[in-house]
């Protein structure tokens, strides 16, 4: 069904408000509420009251207290446990499902962010429902509008699933006021299940390590800094630095990368560089298939060593 969306009428919305119970997933980083994740709250409000926020991680209570001031949230459920830091979906999905079942929520909403895109399909699978992605408009409690074919067509989706697991496009549901609310706080259930996963892989490990190692190397070379999408999504580097299919195309004299796997989408943005040099601890990493010069080793050792040598020259 392809058609242009129309906003729901006031009677439709007030009828919905009597039936629904929505859960909005809130994101945070290092104990601070991520305001862009409040798109889930704005969308939940369009469905009707009551709106419950959900937050988990080592500073969950402090974030919950901050989120309680957001206008339009009635209650915040929080779970304080470091296993849910960085929103690892393998850990977060079973936690969320337990709390959804306990609260009997009809609609679960998260931002269409890297976190939401990772988490919500797993939550939907565990609840045996189909996820509805990247909505830009709510027509009614079961009908949603979302762009498809890179925004060239608009799809209206009607879902009979229950509960409905939805990701929302941030720009379509701007965050409301972060002051003036007075939500109650409630501790959620913690199944303490699925905690085998730890965050790994991302070569530079953290923004602090990225900032400690990469600018001195770039300075020593007289180079600009770029980053992979994984590094950008993990918050190590600014979006504007992303190289690749969905980032910038670069073709410098020397492209020196450390802790880059060499995914095809990354190569799309840098493969025309004159000389490609790579440092990776995995000798089988795909980046070595395109590199002119390769060094198999730990970047935390090799990058400072290289920086030091370059400075001396």
Beta strands 143-148; 137-140: pairing state: antiparallel
Q: Does 260 bind ligand FAD (CB under 6 A)?
A: yes
- 188 vs 226 by CB, closer to ligand FAD: 226
Q: Does 238 bind ligand FAD (CB under 6 A)?
A: no
Residues 148-207 that bind ligand FAD (CB under 6 A): 201-203
- 103 vs 259 by CB, closer to ligand FAD: 259
**Strand partners for 146:** 155
Q: Does 244 bind ligand FAD (CB under 6 A)?
A: yes
Using an 8 Å Cβ cutoff, are 271 and 251 in contact? no
Helices of type H across the chain: 10-17, 39-47, 60-67, 89-103, 114-126, 207-221, 229-233, 264-267, 287-290, 299-312
Q: Does 112 bind ligand FAD (CB under 6 A)?
A: no
- Output the smallest distance, CB 266 to ligand FAD, in A: 3
- 89 vs 269 by CB, closer to ligand FAD: 269
Q: Which of 55, 60, 87 is nearest to 73 (CA)?
A: 55
Residues 272-311 that bind ligand FAD (CB under 6 A): 279-282, 285, 298-300
Q: Does 48 bind ligand FAD (CB under 6 A)?
A: no
- Output the smallest distance, CB 282 to ligand FAD, in A: 4
- Candidate list 127, 231, 241, 256; residue touching ligand FAD; CB under 6 A: 231
- 220 vs 263 by CB, closer to ligand FAD: 263
* Surface-to-core class of residue 180, CB atoms within 10 Å of its CB (0-12 exposed, 13-18 middle, 19+ buried): exposed
**Cβ atoms within 10 A of the Cβ of 218, count?**
15
**Strand partners for 248:** 243
| DSSP assigned state of 227 | B
- Alpha-carbon 276 to chain mean position: 30
Residues 211-230 that bind ligand FAD (CB under 6 A): 228-230
Where does this chain bind ligand FAD (CB under 6 A)? 201-203, 228-231, 242-247, 259-261, 263, 265-266, 269, 279-282, 285, 298-300
């Amino acid at each position: 069904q392809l058609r242009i969306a129309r906003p729901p009428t006031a009677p439709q919305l007030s009828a919905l408000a009597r039936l629904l119970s929505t859960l909005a997933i809130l994101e945070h980083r290092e104990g601070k509420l991520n305001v862009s994740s409040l798109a889930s709250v704005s969308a939940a409000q369009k469905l009707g009251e009551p709106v419950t926020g959900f937050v988990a991680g080592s500073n969950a209570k402090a974030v919950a207290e901050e989120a309680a001031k957001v206008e339009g949230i009635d209650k915040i459920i929080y779970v304080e446990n470091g296993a849910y830091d960085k929103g690892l979906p393998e850990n977060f999905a079973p936690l969320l499902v337990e709390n959804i079942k306990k609260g009997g929520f009809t609609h679960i909403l998260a931002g269409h962010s890297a976190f939401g895109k990772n988490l919500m399909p797993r939550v939907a699978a565990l609840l045996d429902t189909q996820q509805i992605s990247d909505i830009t408009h709510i027509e009614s409690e079961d009908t949603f509008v979302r762009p498809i074919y890179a925004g060239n067509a608009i799809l209206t989706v009607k879902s009979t699933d229950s509960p409905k697991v939805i990701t929302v496009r941030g720009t379509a549901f701007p965050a409301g006021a972060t002051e003036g609310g007075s939500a109650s706080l409630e501790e959620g259930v913690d199944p303490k299940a699925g905690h085998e996963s730890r965050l790994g892989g991302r070569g530079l490990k953290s923004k602090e390590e990225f900032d400690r190692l990469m600018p001195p190397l770039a300075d020593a070379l007289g180079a600009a800094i770029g980053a992979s999408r994984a590094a950008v999504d993990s918050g190590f580097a600014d979006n504007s630095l992303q190289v690749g299919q969905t980032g910038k195309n670069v073709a410098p004299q020397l492209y020196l990368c450390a802790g880059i796997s060499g995914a095809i989408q990354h190569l799309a943005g840098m493969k025309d560089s004159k000389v490609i040099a790579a440092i990776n601890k995995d000798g089988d990493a795909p980046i070595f298939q395109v590199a002119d010069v390769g060094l198999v080793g730990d970047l935390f050792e090799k990058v400072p060593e290289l920086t030091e040598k370059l400075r001396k020259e």
